[in-house]
Amino acid sequence: MFLDTSFLQNDEINLVLERTADGNEEKGWVPAYHFAICNQDGIKMGVCDLRIGHNDKLYYGGNIGYRVDEKYRGHHYAGKACLLLFELAKMHQLEYVIITCNPDNYASRKTCEYAGGELLETVELPADNDMREDGETEKCIFKFIL
């Protein structure tokens, strides 16, 4: 199920596979790759992940997540990581991916725009959504056609 990921690099960053996670159908989890976002010297600058599949939970949680350490922000590393992850998603026959963010997370919104996403809607999370436990109530839903 999991594929070789050694090609996930460009002239600025490498995505280094840290682990994979099998899906759990009962919990609505799909298989996922977890990566470190590293520069060409191998210094870890952040993390990203790709979740393979689509379901109701992923509409609100997204197929791709990312976080760039504060001292490395402002260089589009998250957006560049997304562009690389799109290639892996295509290899898994995904026709599109969803990335979500909180409406007030302007940096993440800019990342979605940089990577070519279409804002589908800003939506209130369902009452039973796990993210509500962290105090989240709304998500911007971006779609990326692969």
For the chain, the domains span: 13-145
Which of residues 44 and 57 earns the better pLDDT score? 44
What pLDDT does 1 receive? Answer: 85
CATH of domain 13-145: 3.40.630.30
Q: Which of 127, 146, 145, 105 is nearest to 60 (CA)?
A: 127
Specify the pLDDT at position 26. Answer: 85
- The band of 28, judged by pLDDT with boundaries at 50, 70 and 90, is confident
pTM of the model: 0.95
